[in-house]
Amino acid sequence: MARLLLQALEHAGHETMLAARLRSWDGRGDPQRQERVRALGHRIALRFVARARREPERRPDLWFTYHLYYKAPDWIGPEVAEALGIPYAVAEASLAQKRRGGAWDLGHRATAAALARADRVIGLNSADREGVLPALASPERWLALRPFLDSAPFLRAVAARETTRSALARKCGLDPARPWLVAVAMMRTDVKLRSYRLLGSALARAADRPYHLLIAGDGPARAEVEQALAPLGDRVRFLGALAEEQVPELLAASDLYLWPALGEAYGLAILEAQAAGLPVLAGQAGGVGDIVAEGVTGVLTPEGDLDAFAIAARELIEDPARRRAFGAAALRKVAAEHDLAAAARCLDGAFRAVVRS
């Protein structure tokens, strides 16, 4: 999504510059590490400000930070914006008061301070709004933006579906007459692994129905994921981590995207599936409901509800007409609500307004 935001800004005619590569993320709740990263961020901010003053042509009109929260606060942007007197904008921020006073208190307080300083907060996940809004200087600084993508590669893949499906059937030993179920997700020992385990348990209940399950992804939990899906036997094909250009082809060649989405913010892969004309079965976590229209482009089940997910999976495996109707609606929804050009117009208007003011 960070790359898509840059692409949207460039599409709108803005010049973007990657200002820093600092990774502030702390997954262990280590206050000492957080202090070290804060100090490093301060030094980077000082260097950036000094250079911008020394080379006026490199002075930005606006600072833009993507995805800040208690584990990954922004230690650079607010300081630079204050020193240079420029607007400060962020996208996909979240703020949970339950993190106050805990192992990540430093990151929590830094995120709250950054949000208070922000001139615009781009909300890609409606579930974040409740926590973020009280931290803003005024509610009007929140701007809702639906998750988006460049639909062109997916539309090309849809047009080449039959050719791609035939080639993939030969390569992976798949029966084109069976429904092809697909999931694209990293294999990490967190909510991703829990989602894979729920997926395996749910599909095991449909073992009497014909289908193939295609899994694209890799990571440190690969062995655990394989174990979770082992009960499905030779129905599963592990495709590994795919190149970015291969994902639209895989999705367009398939028949149903399904992902339990435990702890998911919104799931860019879920949006990509719909851009490829796929119906979606997902757990209703975070902002997934911002992407999937229940009963129109797919089915949403309560987050973590194995029984509901298993029942819905079986029903969709058995109902090709319903899958096709959902898939056609998904294509229309992406074109109307989630395309790059619309996002570019929205960001352009928002940023020009704060730069002028």
pLDDT for 356 equals: 80
Nearest to 249 by CA among 196, 187, 182, 203: 182
Residue-wise pLDDT for 254-271, tens only, equals 999 999 999 998 889 999
Give the lowest-confidence range in 98-102, 172-176, 291-295, 334-338.
98-102
The per-residue DSSP string of 74-111 comes to -SSHHHHHHHHT--EEEES----GGGTTSTTHHHHHHH
Whole-structure pTM over 0.95, yes or no? Answer: no
Range 53-73 average pLDDT: 95
Helix axes 340-356, 2-11, angle to 10 degrees: 70
Instruction: Break the chain into its structural domains and give their ranges.
Output: 2-148+340-356, 152-337
CA 256 and chain centroid, separation? 19
Tens-place pLDDT, residues 140-183: 999 999 999 999 999 999 999 999 999 999 999 999 999 999 99
89 and 143 Cβ atoms separated by less than 8 Å: no
What's the pLDDT tens digit per position in 19-56? 999 999 999 999 999 999 999 999 999 999 999 999 99
Q: How far apart are CA 276 and CA 216, in angstroms?
A: 15
What's the pLDDT at 341? 94
Say how many C-beta atoms besides its own lie within 10 A of residue 231's C-beta. 13
Instruction: Dump pLDDT digits (tens) for 207-216.
Output: 999 999 999 9
How many alpha carbons lie under 13 Å from residue 243 in its C-beta half-sphere? Answer: 2
Shared fold status for 2-148+340-356 and 152-337: yes
CATH topology of domain 152-337: Rossmann fold (3.40.50)
- Residue 271 to residues 186, 279, 334, Cα–Cα distance (Å): 16, 10, 8
CATH topology of domain 2-148+340-356: Rossmann fold (3.40.50)
Contact 124, 103 (CB under 8 A): no
Write the single-letter amino acid at 79.
E
What is the rounded average pLDDT for all residues in the chain?
96
